[in-house]
Chains A and B, each alone.
Chain A
């Protein structure tokens, strides 16, 4: 059946590259989203180059040099076991990036799938899927993640699974709403009349249309993911010591906080900067990808 379809215009890669270029240029023009991009680049850079940038081994203890204040030897001081806080932060960026990446590539497809299927088929499918989504939405995400981690046992991997389990419903809601708006559009009917299967219509026509808003939502979501992961780490339910996860670093640093302020200050600033960056970036993306806004400029 599908061979009667006219050849679909395939998006050429140069075109795709220009579009991305345009969006990047737009983002760089505004200070807030430019800040977001810069922090993001720094984060990726430090994650990739962590072994080069780090001045010390993040795990090696030096009990002769515990709780030292920041100095030229230890940029952000040392912790209670004499480990270099700066180096641990650099390596910690790898953990943060891993969490964000894994959660996003899990949550995006699940949310898109549930949302587009519910929106496209409507009726009973829609009711069942959305009821399921509502149940997940009726908890604050941190509390549900806590419950999942408690059941699965505390570890970094389980934290990632728990966050993924709680983060897909908003995406599904959004994808459904988007799908509903053009489910009855002419180009969908045309595809259906040509005999395209629902799976093909959803994949070829609906998913691309949902992409911009889903991407924005995922970016904004990354900020929440980082905060939830850090919160789990802080409560001792996420990454376990001696992993240099930022939230966990704050949790251990807390005991020495009054005398050694640097132990909690720097990891906290790192979390704040990265989550703020994602929020600003998401905000900027919303402006960049909103067609109504683009016309005005």
Chain B
């Protein structure tokens, strides 16, 4: 009973801190969107609008009211999920974002799978061979992934694997002539095409996602590898590893069954955080691959100064980040027997 109450307080405390962070996020986006030099009215009415038009829009946006009132209205709008209309598309921003987000999630999910499948074993291998050549090699390989400008690698990748070798599809989510063939249900192309039974489209989509996803995954594997290595090093020197060896388990069994089992929970956290960081690379790689996702949407609006859409995008990314943090926290609690009690 006491334990329950303690857990309740902890939960409330955590909920409170999430709330405060969200509120801070709103302040930040508000500050960037309203107070910074860019003129939101100019972005709407254009450079050569008359004074009257300018004034009207100025009042429509509520810019004549005091700052705290503007902020209050902003919070009210956000709370009712009213993020305004995008100047570029003329659609509500939220509708736009929901339409483009699945493409990015599809890309990011493939990327994180690739990053984890490559990064985790490499990290384990590096830890087991600490300070030997395998460790050094893996370090350079993963730092390489961390150091490459992803927009450039994307371009070189397109040049080599698409233009020269023809191994993968080019830009976009599928070949041009398939566009519009599959009814949009979930906007996850792979799911939609599978539902519709359009396996040609499905294959084309796979072909197109391979290159951007693996490049994105490679860049995130650097972080995963490094963290896996350091987690494993912590475990390998533990006494229970000796116990496992004493029992007659081979080196490999000891590493994978015992040491690796102990870092699984931490890895879940790391992968969740890496997933969030992927969004950053996604903005750049989507531009290069003309991937019609969140990143392309964000940059397109950035370039024309559509602050309404931009701020909403930033807010969405912030919320996704916070959500990932919370999820990894929950997973930690669920998977670790020590925190379950």
Touching chains A and B, CB distance < 8 Å: yes
Instruction: List residues of chain A with CB under 8 Å of any chain B CB.
Output: 32, 131-132, 134-136, 138-144, 146-153, 223, 227, 230-231, 234-237, 247, 250, 254, 257-258, 261, 264-265, 267-268, 271-272, 275-276, 278-280, 283
Closest 3 CB pairs of A and B: A151-B36, A268-B152, A140-B280
Q: Supply 9 A–B pairs (Cβ within 8 Å), ascending by A.
A: A135-B21, A138-B25, A143-B280, A152-B36, A231-B149, A231-B283, A250-B149, A275-B148, A283-B143
Give the chain A neighbours of B276 by CB distance below 8 A.
Answer: 140
A165 to chain B, nearest CB (A): 10
Q: Within 8 Å of chain A (Cβ to Cβ): is B287? A: yes
Docked complex Cα distance between A138 and B163 (Å): 38
Instruction: Give per-residue flags for B15-38: 1 if the beta carbon is below 8 A from chain A beta carbons, else 0.
Output: 001001100110011001100111
The distance from the CB of B164 to the nearest CB of chain A, in whole angstroms, is 10
User: Given contacts A235-B287, A250-B155, A271-B149, are A150 and B21 in contact (CB under 8 A)?
Assistant: no
Contacts of A276 in B (CB 8 A): 143-144, 147
The answer on a CB contact under 8 Å between B310 and A150 is yes
Taking the closest CB of chain B, its distance from the CB of A296, in whole angstroms, is: 10
* CB-based contact B32/A151 at 8 Å: yes
In the complex, residue of chain A having the shortest beta-carbon distance to the beta carbon of B277: A140
**Which residues in B have some Cβ–Cβ distance to A below 8 Å?**
17, 20-21, 24-25, 28-29, 32-33, 36-38, 136, 139-140, 143-144, 146-153, 155-156, 159, 163, 276-277, 279-280, 283-284, 287, 298-299, 302-303, 305, 307, 310-311, 313-314, 317-318, 321-322, 325
A131 and B21 within 8 A (CB): yes
Q: What residues on A are CB-neighbors of B317 within 8 Å?
A: 139-140, 143
A257 touches B147 (CB 8 A): no
Cross-chain contact A138 with B318 (CB below 8 angstroms): yes
Q: How distant is the Cα of A146 from the Cα of B317 in the complex, in angstroms?
A: 12
Bound-complex Cα distance A72 to B206 (A) = 44
- Choose among B147, B302, B311 the residue with the greatest number of A CB atoms under 10 Å from its CB: B147
Query: How many angstroms from the CA of A143 to the CA of B139 in the assembled complex?
Result: 27
Total number of residue pairs linking A and B with CB closer than 8 Å: 141
A3 nearest CB across to chain B (Å) = 44
B151 and A250 form a contact (CB under 8 A):
yes
Smallest CB-CB separation from A228: which chain B residue? Answer: B280
Contact B146 A223 (CB under 8 A): yes
Specify which chain B residues have a CB less than 8 angstroms from the CB of A279 in the assembled complex. 143, 146-147
Q: Evaluate contact between B321 and A140: CB separation under 8 angstroms.
A: yes
* CB-defined contacts of B33 to chain A, threshold 8 Å: 151
Q: A227-B149, A254-B155 are in contact. Are A32 and B139 (CB under 8 A)?
A: yes
Residues of A within 8 A of B302 (CB): 146, 149-150, 235, 237
Contact of B38 among A136, A152, A261 (CB under 8 A): A152
Establish whether residues B155 and A264, one from each chain, have CB atoms under 8 Å apart when the complex forms. Answer: yes
Contact present for A230 and B143 (CB under 8 Å) = no
Which A residue's beta carbon lies closest to that of B148? A272
- Do residues B307 and A264 form an inter-chain contact, with CB atoms below 8 A? no
**Smallest distance from the beta carbon of B171 to chain A beta carbons, Å?**
12
CB-contact partner of B152 in A134, A140, A143, A250, under 8 A: A250
Least CB distance, B309 to chain A, in whole angstroms: 10
| A237 → B minimal CB distance (Å) | 7
**For A257, what are the chain B residues with a Cβ–Cβ distance below 8 Å?**
155, 159
Partner of A140, one of B139, B149, B150, B279: B279
Question: Would you call B307 and A143 a contact (CB within 8 A)?
Answer: no
Contact assessment for A231 and B151 in the assembled complex, using a CB-CB cutoff below 8 Å:
yes
A271 CB, nearest partner CB in chain B, Å: 5
Given A143-B283, A151-B36, answer yes or no on A268-B156 (Cβ-Cβ < 8 Å).
Answer: yes
Q: Are A231 and B298 within 8 A (Cβ)?
A: no
Residues of A within 8 A of B136 (CB): 32
In the complex, are the beta carbons of A144 and B314 less than 8 A apart?
yes
Inter-chain contacts of A136 with B (CB < 8 A): 28
CB neighbours (8 Å) of A267 from chain B are 152
- Nearest CB of A to B87, in Å: 13
The residue on B at minimum CB distance from A258 is B163
Contacts of B310 in A (CB 8 A): 146-147, 150
Other CB < 8 Å A-B pairs besides A139-B318, A140-B317, A257-B159, 6 of them?
A135-B28, A136-B28, A146-B302, A223-B146, A247-B151, A265-B156
Q: How far is the CB of A24 from chain B (nearest CB, A)?
A: 21
Quick one: given A143-B317, A275-B149, are A131 and B24 in contact (CB under 8 Å)? yes
Scoring B17, B144, B149 by chain A CB atoms within 10 A of each residue's CB, the highest score goes to B149
A20 to B140, CA, bound (A): 25
Q: Which residues from A are CB-within-8-Å of B313?
A: 143
The residues of A that contact B143 with a CB separation of less than 8 Å are 276, 279-280, 283
How many angstroms from the CA of A257 to the CA of B156 in the assembled complex? 9
Q: Using known A-B contacts A132-B24, A140-B277, A150-B310, determine if residue A268 contacts B149 with beta carbons closer than 8 Å.
A: yes
